[in-house]
Structure 1
């Protein structure tokens, strides 16, 4: 099946992804098992790639499913990967698994976010972190990075704000660069304009960087671990990230257990 090709040729998109991955034509052609000449013809538009060739190159370039669909469309082909809403019946097992992870992580906070760090779900511990934030920052779609760094969000209560800003902005910049996503670049530009300073140095003696947050007159220390569905064949599922927060000290652990007991 073919569809109307988009304004940007498939070959140009593939070339941009090759350059983003810092691969030469020779390196990519070896990985994909094709000649450098053939790859050059594809990138310059002298040869129209088949959908199978697009997918072969996309796999070697480790392209996200969303972008693989875009290249297929640009080549005049139908998208290969579905993009169901998270509330769609076919994702019921995924939703159930996500809820199991979120609930099982209590009494500590856990969230599910999408590609742009928009909040899709959260467990009962998260409101303990967001108490006192401006209502407009908590109105859907909530962007958890904006909520963290905005002057009317968590930022005034983050003791090590400069370090935490450096961590979040660095993470956002890397994803924006990896994906070439203009929306992520725009978010990075917005957030870096917020006050708070930058301090990329890890505190002495620390193996992880905790977020140190003032709450009820005390201080909580939390670090996070992010998980993804590595076997995803749906765009929505591939773009999901579960971020679970863990206590960095016994005081924080006891505080959360007491709050949700």
Structure 2
């Protein structure tokens, strides 16, 4: 049975004290829940990773990084390597988020190299991808998403997929208040699972968790999560409020 996952991407928000406060609030929220086959992950900014990790120690909450560099080390001012993330006790990293693709020019080839670097350091990869509004309107959304998944991940050996989590994020539904309908999310997730099965096999396709990442809120989480190929969410804005994030966790 594949894992259900609710992951909160805090992006460039929260000071250290604010991050610790939010983490403590989330600890209280999850302490009263029965989370069978469900993982809860938070991704603070780099400078707050250690503080949040220490705060949630002993709870079921996991901590992930929002990004990493593809090189092992070197003259890359301001960057963070996979080895550094492992060195502070992390086991997961988000790669390919739409904001990294749009604002920092990260393309499929670069992301493939980042995936390789992460896996080399025994980091689980939460791999993001998704189409823009014009792709959806033109009916090209399956081609765009398929290419991003294939170019970023299909060079991997089958054995590597135990450390891959997929996150579909329709770019037009991030931070806009727009949300893909539960049916649209299911349609795309089923498509993604089908291309993984075609490239590898049904075992890998059925075991990989596919998260939805497009303006999930307490009001729509239960409907979205009820779909058979939606295994949870990569949450943005709603992850910054413990009450909202807690409600989303409960919805799964």
TM-score, structure 2 length as denominator?
0.27
**Structure with more relative contact order (C-alpha pairs < 8 Å, separation 6 or more):** 2
**Which of 1 and 2 has greater Rg?**
1
